[in-house]
Amino acid sequence: MFLVSFLSNAQSNKIVFEYDAAGNQVKRSLCLKCPSATGKKDQTKEVEALAEEKGLPLSSEEVLSYYPNPVKETLYLKWQLQENNGVTSVQVFALSGQVLGTYPVGSGVNELNVPFQNYSAGIYAIMLYYSNGSQKAIKIIKQ
């Protein structure tokens, strides 16, 4: 596994991501007072633990699962149903921006199987559209 760090703001806090060999995110942590060039000790906390401590709901990223990635034939999407904010449709995009498929999602449905067997190998974007107008994009690799 390897680590990729992203600065969450101009201070010394960082969100740290861990990925497996296939490029799937396996862990996300918030690093408080991360070491700078001076070598201060970092204080890493799990994002889930922070949400529990503060009583805050996790973001919509935490309620969506998809597998396998890379995909060969079918991509399986599953999400937790949220009050007044369900997934209304899912679209598959080529990196050129061309819409390759649109899949309407009924009310109360929390999963969708997206066929990929007719797509050539490459990188695709999946866009989930929510009833409150928000959107979530994920990157999928087709083998």
| Model pLDDT for residues 117-126, shown as the tens digit of each residue | 999 999 999 9
Residue 44 has pLDDT above 90, yes or no: no
Domains of the chain are: 2-56 (no CATH), 61-142 (2.60.40.1930)
- Name the β-bridge partners of 125: 93, 139
- pLDDT tens-digit readout, 80-136: 887 788 899 999 999 899 999 999 999 889 999 999 999 999 999 999 999 889 899
pLDDT one-digit tens code per residue, 1-40: 444 444 333 456 677 777 776 667 788 777 776 665 455 4
Mean pLDDT of all residues in the chain? 77
